[in-house]
């Protein structure tokens, strides 16, 4: 691939889209240090006020009326209604995308969120510019809002999503099953005994890792309360993410708990925490569960954000990698059952070993490289910013 200007466009709606963008960006920078590779948040205030406002509305909807979000997600999942929303998104966001393309003089756009994908696909359809557009779908399920005929290549988590895209009219040659891109550290090997000493943990008791994504959602406090009911000895690691009030509450909780509890805010050593853990309790964010599968860590999933995370949980439960607890009152008893059934935990680890895709970012970069090498000779067919 000749030297390129590569623009990776994510959206800070949760941390998963950003982490996927970062994983692909890091792999590109490692492979092509001479290229101009930029990762941009499409929903930041610096990009556009209206995009940032939409993000805040989304967070408020999840907090106050989650059922409304679920209704809208399902309402727009069909082709007819979903396509109308896609056109609106593209129309309102196209100017922001044009500004980004001009600012970074982009040859290649890689999207890890459907909003920038909508804008870029619209502009490409209108022949406003000549760039290659790649889309990384950052869930284990497919929604209409991701689907655009002008995307040059889709990267998806599994074969079922490929079949669904083909059914929606996307050419099979434009779909690659790679898995969801995660950081390289999740494919590294670690000395567990050394990490146990590092975190001052015992090798003789189960270790439960509780996470709620980058925003610290996912019923972390309720999970702690359920585990407090169990007399079974255990050690609990809590990652509160960017939720400072939750971090503070958990620190207070530590003082009267029957279990050893350690708490982190936004942690950069999740790979190490997953390495030492016996079980993960988390909401089913696609990046978190992809990371856990890479570490072959059994999962108890609960408190999904309505919509895609429920479908993520259903997919992993169907494949035996996780248990999806739909009634929060059952968390404690389910944890007890899992921790006392070593054969079940071993079976779940084996299922994760089969399903995991720790090298997705490398696969994506390999495919983009091959695609661009095959198109370099034909790259002058349009003016980049033609009208």
- CB-CB neighbours of 249 under 10 Å: 16
Give which of 192, 194, 276, 291 is closest to 237, Cα–Cα.
276
| Residue 106 · residue 134 · CB < 8 Å | no
Give strand pairing partners of 7. Answer: 38, 109
Order of strands, sheet of 5-10, starting from the edge strand that comes earlier in the sequence:
36-41, 5-10, 108-111, 132-136, 153-156, 175-177
Give strand pairing partners of 261. Answer: 236
Look at residue 49 in the predicted model and tell me its pLDDT: 54
Look at residue 378 in the predicted model and tell me its pLDDT: 43
Supply the mean pLDDT for the chain. 88
Region 169-184: what's the mean pLDDT? 97
Beta strand ranges found along 142-182 (DSSP E): 153-156, 175-177
Look at residue 213 in the predicted model and tell me its pLDDT: 59
Residue 56 has pLDDT above 70, yes or no: no
Look at residue 15 in the predicted model and tell me its pLDDT: 82
Look at residue 386 in the predicted model and tell me its pLDDT: 37
Residue 157 vs residue 51, higher pLDDT: 157
Residue 211 has pLDDT above 50, yes or no: yes
Residue 50 has pLDDT above 80, yes or no: no
Give the tokens for residue 157.
Answer: 């988590």
Q: Distance between CA atoms of 304 and 311, rounded to whole angstroms?
A: 9
Q: Confirm whether 5-182+359-378 and 190-355 share one CATH topology.
A: yes
DSSP strand pairing (153-156 vs 108-111): unpaired
DSSP SS3 for 322:
strand
* Residue pLDDT, tens place only, 26-41: 999 999 999 999 999 9
Please state the pTM of the whole predicted model: 0.90
377: Cβ–Cβ under 8 A, 6 or more apart, which residues? none
Q: Distance between CA atoms of 275 and 196, rounded to whole angstroms?
A: 9
Q: Which fold has domain 190-355?
A: Rossmann fold (3.40.50)
Look at residue 356 in the predicted model and tell me its pLDDT: 98
| Residue 338 · residue 344 · CB < 8 Å | yes
Q: Indicate the range of 66-80, 346-360, 372-386 predicted with least confidence.
A: 372-386
User: Angle at which helices 360-375 and 16-31 pack, to 10 degrees?
Assistant: 60
CA distances from 263 to 233, 244, 387 (A): 18, 11, 54
Q: Indicate the range of 58-62, 288-292, 377-381 predicted with least confidence.
A: 377-381
Q: Indicate the range of 133-147, 256-270, 291-305, 317-331 predicted with least confidence.
A: 256-270
Give which of 139, 183, 115, 196 is closest to 316, Cα–Cα.
139
- If phi > 0 it is left, if psi is from -120 to 50 it is alpha, else beta; for residue 182 that is beta
| Residue 299 · residue 321 · CB < 8 Å | yes
Give which of 305, 293, 285 is closest to 239, Cα–Cα.
285
| Residue 353 · residue 89 · CB < 8 Å | no
Look at residue 81 in the predicted model and tell me its pLDDT: 56
Q: Distance between CA atoms of 258 and 15, rounded to whole angstroms?
A: 32
CATH number of 5-182+359-378: 3.40.50.2000
Residue 60 has pLDDT above 80, yes or no: no
Give which of 387, 359, 369 is closest to 178, Cα–Cα.
359
Split at pLDDT 50, 70, 90, the class of 65 is low
* Residue pLDDT, tens place only, 253-272: 898 899 999 999 878 899 99
Q: Taking the domains of the chain in order of start, what are their residue ranges?
A: 5-182+359-378, 190-355
Look at residue 76 in the predicted model and tell me its pLDDT: 72
Give strand pairing partners of 324. Answer: 301
CA distances from 379 to 99, 361, 376 (A): 21, 25, 5
Q: Distance between CA atoms of 376 and 275, rounded to whole angstroms?
A: 43
Q: Indicate the range of 60-74, 199-213, 314-328 predicted with least confidence.
A: 60-74
DSSP strand pairing (132-136 vs 108-111): parallel
Residue 94 has pLDDT above 50, yes or no: yes
Q: Indicate the range of 117-121, 136-140, 245-249 predicted with least confidence.
A: 245-249
- CB-CB neighbours of 26 under 10 Å: 17
């Amino acid at each position: 691939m000749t030297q390129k200007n590569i623009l990776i466009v994510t959206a800070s709606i949760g941390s998963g889209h950003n982490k996927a963008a970062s994983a692909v960006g890091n792999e590109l920078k490692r492979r092509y240090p001479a290229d101009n590779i930029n990762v941009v948040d499409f929903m930041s205030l610096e990009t556009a006020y209206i995009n940032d406002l939409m993000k805040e509305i989304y967070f408020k909807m999840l907090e106050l009326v989650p059922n409304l979000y679920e209704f809208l997600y399902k309402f727009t999942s069909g082709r007819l209604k979903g396509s109308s929303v896609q056109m609106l998104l593209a129309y309102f966001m196209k100017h922001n995308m044009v500004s980004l393309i001009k600012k970074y003089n982009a040859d290649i756009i890689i999207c890890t969120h459907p909003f920038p994908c909508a804008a870029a696909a619209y502009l490409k359809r209108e022949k406003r510019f000549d760039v290659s557009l790649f889309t990384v779908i950052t869930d284990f399920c497919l929604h209409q809002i991701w689907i655009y005929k002008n995307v040059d290549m889709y990267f998806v988590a599994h074969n079922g999503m490929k079949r669904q895209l083909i059914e929606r009219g996307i050419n099979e040659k434009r779909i690659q099953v790679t898995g969801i891109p995660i950081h390289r550290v999740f494919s590294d090997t670690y000395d567990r005994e050394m990490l146990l000493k590092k975190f001052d943990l015992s090798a003789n008791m189960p270790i439960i890792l509780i996470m709620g994504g980058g925003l610290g959602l996912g019923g972390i406090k309720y999970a702690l309360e359920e585990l407090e009911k169990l007399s079974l000895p255990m050690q609990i690691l809590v990652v509160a993410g960017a939720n400072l009030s939750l971090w503070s509450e958990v620190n207070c909780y530590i003082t009267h708990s029957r279990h050893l509890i350690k708490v982190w805010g936004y942690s950069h050593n999740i790979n190490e925490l997953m390495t030492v853990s016996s079980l993960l309790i988390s909401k089913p964010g696609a990046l978190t569960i992809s990371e856990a599968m890479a570490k072959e860590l059994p999962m108890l999933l609960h408190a999904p954000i309505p919509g895609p995370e429920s479908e993520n949980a259903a997919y992993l439960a169907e494949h035996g990698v996780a248990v999806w607890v739909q009634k929060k009152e059952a968390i404690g008893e389910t944890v007890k059952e899992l921790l006392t059934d070593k054969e079940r935990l071993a079976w779940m680890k084996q299922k994760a070993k089969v399903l995991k895709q720790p090298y997705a970012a490398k696969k994506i970069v390999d495919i983009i490289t091959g695609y661009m090498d095959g198109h370099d000779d034909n790259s002058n067919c349009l003016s980049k910013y033609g009208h």
